[in-house]
Amino acid sequence: GDFHHRGGGNNDGEFHKRRSDGDFHHRGGGSGDSYDARRPMPALVPVIPTTSSETLRPTHQVLIGNLPHITNQCDVYDLCQRSKANPVHVEMKTMNYPPNPPIRYAEVYVKTEKDVINIVEALNNLAISDHQLVVWRPQ
């Protein structure tokens, strides 16, 4: 029994060796991970030629502040589309300045000046679940 147990110890040693090998592989995997992190970019490339004139045009930024904390990107997209604007990109942000409560806001990027005006006119001072939205365009 003892001898068998020692044999088990031996296997453990091999297992450990294999594990360090695995660690080395994982280091290789690390570079693979960073490649994966970059991989979504090439996936977006085919989209650009189809709308090159659109995509290359500079976007306009609108900030929507004082959002309820449960607001997510989809909600902001919906709000923008209801105000007849098509956002290219929406980014959710939170500002923390204790002891003040955190402020939730969204950076919205749209293609046209008209979209900016629509969003500001439709959403500024709009009340959503006790939060009065503040919408402005950064200078």
Residue range 98-123, pLDDT digits in tens:
998 899 999 999 999 999 999 999 99
Q: What is the CA radius of gyration of the chain?
A: 26
What pLDDT is attached to residue 58? 74
